[in-house]
Amino acid sequence: MSQDMTDGQKASQKAIGEVKNYIDAQRQKTLLRFITCGSVDDGKSTLIGRLLFESKLLFDDQLENLKNVSKKLGTQGDDIDFALLVDGLAAEREQGITIDVAYRFFNTEQRKFIVIDTPGHEQYTRNMATGASQADLAVLMVDARQGLTTQTKRHAYIVQSLGVKHIVVAINKMDLVEYGQDRFDELVKDFRAFSQKIDMEAFTSIPMSALKGDNVLEASAHMDWYSGPTLMQHLNTVSVTDKVAGKPFRMPVQWVNRPDLDFRGFAGRVVSGSLKVGDKITSMPSGKTSKLARIYTVDGDLDEVLAGQSVTLCLEDEIDASRGDILCAGDANLPQQSDNFHVKILWMSEQKLRVGRTFRMKIGAHTVNASVTQTKHVIDVNTLQHISAETLELNEIGECIVRTERAICFEPYADNREMGGFILIDKITNATMAMGLITDAHSGADLDQRTEELTIGRADRADQKRQVPLTIWFTGLKRSGKTYIANALERKLFARGCHSFILDPGNVLPGMSEDLDFESSDQIENVRRVAHMSKLMNDAGLIVMTCFTSPLSFERRMARRIIGTENFLEIHMDTPIEISLAQDSQGYFEKARRGEIKNVAGIDMRFEPPKAANLTFSLRKHSPEDAADIILAKLTEMGVLGG
């Protein structure tokens, strides 16, 4: 019995050792993430199914189920339809198309793989772009019969723009063109001409039949004219170096880890570079510096942290850093900061882009309000021409200018994916509207070029009128007295010979904003338009008074930024809502309470009072004439009114 136990223990220890060796071997394998993309019905799902089948990575029950489903829903008669292996949604199997992104894991003796199967339909381009943003390599499928389609070119452009450097052009369905070399050479020539236009450095072309297995794992007996690698040989051997490892250290702070009084660390995932205990570290955007005291992980402390690792960093000093801040190595080669960017955008919503609309922009761990201030052009993926456009529609790719509410840290996407890639999120529905990449900071010079060309500038016009241009921004609930006071003020300014103008819903909504309604996003757009109009009137030397509710603080910050802080005077009408109700002779609030009008501040929408308005009035305490006199005195004090 004792001898039997010893033999059993030896067998157990041997088994444990074999398992440990297997796990260690798996850990040593490199991981390749690759995407299959291309036009509709080019064979993307079939290729992945074939890879899994021939790699003998399917369980018996999976294979049996695949055979049964193939008989019921397949397109290959009695043969296995490999596309059904990854088209898992019922709608996908019924229609024979890929709708959602599918992820599959498999491995060979040389490498581990995560394969991302993406839709080919133009309607689901956003799903394809999501998958491409995570890939190291792209297998671009081309139907040998159809050649390069618009969607093929769109997908090629997207993977190139998203920094996928390794491209395999898989000329599929060669069995349907009699495995002809001439057709293969023709399509490779076509793609090479297109690739040069989008600055694609290189690509590997492979003729194959995913359905029959030609050049997938084994070399095809039907195409002896081809001497290159099979797809699996290429996937196993392609060198995907970790380009972020040699870049400067960057770790966006996900959260501040403070479980007790004795521990404080900054948790996050390192997106580039490396750092050792004792190295100098800088927190951006504050610029505060310290030294790395400890690298904490759930498996124990480390002496060095590398790109891709999720850790908690403890510093020697108690510096201020919070979610979204960037921890950087040393105090040189720090990320840039800006609130204005040149970007490329893939618009992912069926609702077209409206310039000036405010979104939440998520870049890394940081979220900030942002708006597209200019659409420079749309890119025609067929000709790659830049077409002038004022908006973007679903699946269109454009180059735009984006402005954020405040300066953020970034690096161009070409240098660092994590620091230069972002998404735009609808503030109301939380839907992802667009994905984009920052190409560089925008100085604003091209926007200001027209102004610089004017012979007579703002200062000349102001001197002529003997006044300082200014926008007086009245904010407050409907019927709180904004227009009453603005009218009283304008009468006094007119009597003094000043040049002024009032903008309010009465003269803006019937013309400049007649295409807008009461939706929250439209109200934000109205504020943007009014701010730009006010700036133009200031450029003409005028004093402008705007009378709009503008209930949200970020709307007023946007207006202040557009107009310029030095030309912006904010006045808050803090009139109680019961007095506003008494002034409402047209029943505006009653209609809002009955639901006939939506998004009314004070009823079904919040009003965020200014924290530091220049002046505050209330119809309970001030008559319009008295308030106008106080504002007039303020303008005189500021030197706005000339002699």
Q: Is residue 172 part of a domain?
A: yes
Where residue 429 sits, what CATH number does that domain have?
A: 2.40.30.10
pLDDT at 525: 80
On whether residue 6 sits in a domain, the answer given is no
Percent of the chain exceeding pLDDT 70 equals: 84
Mean pLDDT over residues 94-98, rounded? 41
What pLDDT sits at residue 474? 96
Give the domain CATH number at 576: 3.40.50.300
Distance, in Å, from the CA atom of 501 to the CA atom of 508, rounded to the nearest integer, reads 12
Same domain flag for 212 and 128: yes
Same domain (yes/no): 372, 255: no
Q: CB–CB of 87/93 below 8 Å?
A: yes
Instruction: State in Å, rounded, how far the first CA of the chain is from the last one.
Output: 114
Does residue 464 sit within a domain?
Answer: yes
Lookup: tokens for 252: 């966006």
Whole-number Å distance between alpha carbons of 399 and 89: 35
Q: Does 463 share its domain with 500?
A: yes
Under 8 Å between Cβ of 528 and 563 = no
Residue 75 pLDDT greater than 70, yes or no: no
Tokens for 415?
Answer: 């240098």
Same domain, 264 and 308: yes
pLDDT single digits (tens) 429-473: 889 999 999 999 886 544 444 444 556 778 888 888 889 999 999
Considering 355-364, 399-408, 466-475, the range whose residues carry the highest mean pLDDT is: 466-475
163 and 78 inside one domain? yes
My answer on whether 502 and 372 are in the same domain is no
Same structural domain for residues 273 and 406? no
Q: Which residue, among 343, 435, 352, 380, has the nearest Cα to 157 in the 3D structure?
A: 380
146 and 55, same domain (yes or no): yes
Query: Is 210 found in the same domain as 263?
Result: no
Q: What is the pLDDT of residue 73?
A: 55
Is 550 an active-site residue?
Answer: yes
> Is 126 a domain residue?
yes
Q: From 407, 432, 448, give the residue that closes a domain.
A: 448
Last residue of a domain, one of 178, 209, 237: 237
Given 203, 237, 271, the domain boundary residue is 237
Domain contains 278: yes
Q: Is residue 9 part of a domain?
A: no
Helix, strand, coil % over all residues of the chain, rounded to 5: 35, 30, 40
- List the one residue out of 165, 328, 357 whose CA is nearest residue 252: 328
Are 96 and 212 contained in the same domain? yes
Number of domain units in the chain: 4
Residue 540 and residue 581 share a domain: yes
Which residue in 195, 349, 371, 550 is the catalytic one? 550
The residue range of the domain holding 302 is 250-329
**Is the pLDDT at 13 greater than 80, yes or no?**
no
pLDDT of residue 128 exceeding 50: yes
In a domain, 369, yes or no: yes
When pLDDT is cut at 50, 70 and 90, the band that residue 97 belongs to is very low
Q: Both 351 and 432 in a single domain?
A: yes
244 located within any domain: no
